[in-house]
Structure 1
């Protein structure tokens, strides 16, 4: 099919919208770029700013240095800015930064910060707290780390919800990771509410708008196509959930890939339709790269399938707003 003199098979690509960067990811990347512009390199970033190798490598090339812990920052560089990733961090991390007299910028997604505040409110109101999420994910570590050790119980599955035994006789409340499967979480919540009818739910849904919108778009497209590609990193929770949603929606081939070079073409033999989306931390350039790779082998027709409009944006840290203001003034 790659021979130029061979007629290409038609392929309808159904491009999910919304897809790719959410407002929280966009803000986090902008924080690193603006910090580099204002303070020069190196700028240190604790953990991957977002879970995408292409994005991280691009920021490294501009002068960002990624570390997993603050003690990895050389002693002579503690005056350099350090940025906390979009996933959020335990309270101990900014406390550690302050004790080391570090200047830090917090790129935690505001919707993750909202969950942190909910946890603190439940704690102040003397409620026993359950967190629905995935063990080991940075967001879960950060959320549980807002409160003293042992305060929050992690619930990963419906079985966990059925087996859970309250540690106290205090009222129960639950919060959730922002990047979960909407359907999986609904099942877990249903079990908890059936067992504990008085359990306090979030005032507003914790699963973020972007996660929900991207899953809804996949549910719409996946049953209609022969195969589905989710562009995203294997350690990206929201990207993994998109692949699972596509499978459950009836798509027989649903794969998560980081970029075009990772495509296993055997997975796409004989297809006439393809669904394509991207996780919230995957840049659009990688989506375009994959469309181009398919265009080399197929006669592609791309149709955008939009199921929601997104207009949300988040404010930058005060220290960086002046750069935006000055660049806008110069452009004006």
Structure 2
């Protein structure tokens, strides 16, 4: 049985700026206010990250009635609906918003165009928290389309003012196909000035497009709930390279590597590098003797923290004292 000889690492892979920021918000809130800190929904879709924060004192909830009065509450990186935001404010929680700024950009666009009388078609996956948060910016006039078939069935009340928005973690190619179907049916549809699919999702998919043809097998490190990680596995598969997604090194199966001399390895935007290192160590145990990093885009984006959690690098002191709940948006 021939096993892996070389591991080729995708670049970029793993954490994006929005995930980094969301995790840092929870950690800083824990450091400043002490445990417990309540987080609505998993802060990011990664089992290791969530369990690590639970061990530090974060409590993850889905319903606001699980949060005691006067508690500190953090909204996850996926964003929340207006109803959740307003209910949290009504209950008087101290709120920090860890919504990824690129998701907030979509929320702002929806609010702005809705005031101008627009209806929306949202390309996304039903039930995903980001989709629920974005569609929940409006009480009506936003319609979900999951595939090209949905485009034929959607029935907006008017078509003169129609705009399209997209879940930020979709397959770039899938979204392009759905968007083309929307434009064919609604030629006047308004598209965002910059595409909604985030830079990190795009970059990781572009890296897999370069990686997959060079290897016999692709391993994606990511949790089953992670949309962008699932898209990476699907993309490699579509390019003709067998691909598997694992939450951690324990999920690797020896038989996958039987005929794979060269293995490609990447990680979704919510998967920490420590998990990638563990996967590499396991593949080495299965026979790999070399690890090579692909050339790729270096991501330097960093998003600012909410007021009340910013620390001055020079003094180590908090920049602004939080006087009121921070609601973001």
TM-score, normalization by structure 2: 0.93
Cα distance per residue 1:217-249 (max 9 Å; x no partner): 000011111110100011100000001111112
* 1:156 paired to 2:156: no
8 Å Cα contact 1:44/1:82 also seen in 2: yes
Q: Give the paired residue count.
A: 318
1:11 is displaced (CA, Å) by 1.3
1:85 to 76, 93, 100: 76
Tell me the equivalent position of 1:41.
35
Cα 1:73/1:197, change in 2 over 3 Å: same
Residues 127 and 101 (structure 1), Cα distance of their counterparts in 2 relative to 1, 3 Å cut: same
1:15 correspondence with 2:9: yes
In structure 2, the CA distance between the partners of 1:299 and 1:98, relative to structure 1 (3 Å rule), is: closer
Shift in Å, 1:310: 0.7
Q: What does residue range 103-114 of structure 1 map to in structure 2 within 5 Å?
A: 103-114=94-105
CA contact (8 A) 1:25 1:281 kept: yes
Question: How far did 1:270 drift?
Answer: 2.2
Out of 231, 235, 254, which is 1:265 matched to?
254
- Please tell me whether the aligned partners of residues 38 and 323 of structure 1 are also in contact (alpha carbons under 8 angstroms): no
Q: Which residue of 2 aligns with 1:4?
A: none
For 2:288 and 2:275, locate their aligned partners in 1 and report how far apart those are by CA, in whole Å: 20
**How do residues 23-38 of structure 1 correspond to structure 2 at under 5 angstroms?**
23-38=17-32
Alignment of 1:298-309 (within 5 A): 298-309=287-298
Residues 78-131 of structure 1: CA distance to partner in whole angstroms, max 9, x if unpaired?
Answer: 222110000000011121111111111000000000000111122111112110
CA offsets per residue over residues 137-157 of structure 1, 9 Å max, x none? 000000000111x32000110
The alignment yields a C-alpha RMSD, in angstroms, of: 1.6
- Distance in 2, matches of 1:193 and 1:144, equals 20
**Structure 2: how far apart are the matches of 1:320 and 1:56?**
20
2:215 aligned with 1:225 = yes
CA offsets, 1:225-278, max 9 Å, x none? 111010001110000000111111221x10111000011222221210101000
Q: Tell me, in whole angstroms, the C-alpha distance in 1 between the residues paired with 2:33 and 2:21.
A: 18
Greater share of residues in helix: 1
Question: SS of the counterpart of 1:327?
Answer: coil
**Is the 1:14–1:273 contact (alpha carbons within 8 Å) kept by the matching residues of 2?**
yes
Residue 169 of structure 1, CA deviation: 4.3
> Could you tell me how far apart the structure 2 residues matched to 1:237 and 1:9 are?
30
Tell me the TM-score normalized by structure 1.
0.92
Distance 1:325-1:70 versus aligned 2 partners, 3 A rule: farther
Residues 304, 297 of structure 1: alpha-carbon distance in 2 compared, 3 angstrom cutoff: same
Taking structure 1 as reference, are residues 52 and 324 closer, same or farther at Cα in structure 2, changes over 3 Å only?
farther
CA distance in 1, matches of 2:259, 2:228: 29
- For residues 299 and 214 of structure 1, the distance between their equivalents in structure 2, rounded to whole angstroms, comes to 24
- What stretches of structure 2 of length at least 5 have no aligned partner? 319-329
C-alpha deviations, 1:31-63, integer Å up to 9, x for none?
Answer: 000001111111111110000010001001111
Aligned mates of 2:245, 2:48 — CA distance in 1: 15
Secondary structure at 2:196 match in 1: coil
Q: Distance in 2 between matches of 1:82 and 1:146?
A: 19
Using the alignment, how far apart are the partners of 1:312 and 1:21 within structure 2?
11
CA distance in 1, matches of 2:75, 2:233: 28
* Alignment gaps of 5+ in structure 1: 2-7
Structure 1 stretch displaced more, 296-305 or 202-211: 296-305
Structure 2 distance, partners of 1:296, 1:52, is 25
Deviation at 1:280, TM superposition (A): 0.3
Aligned-residue offset at 1:306: 2.7
Q: Secondary structure at the match of 1:219?
A: helix
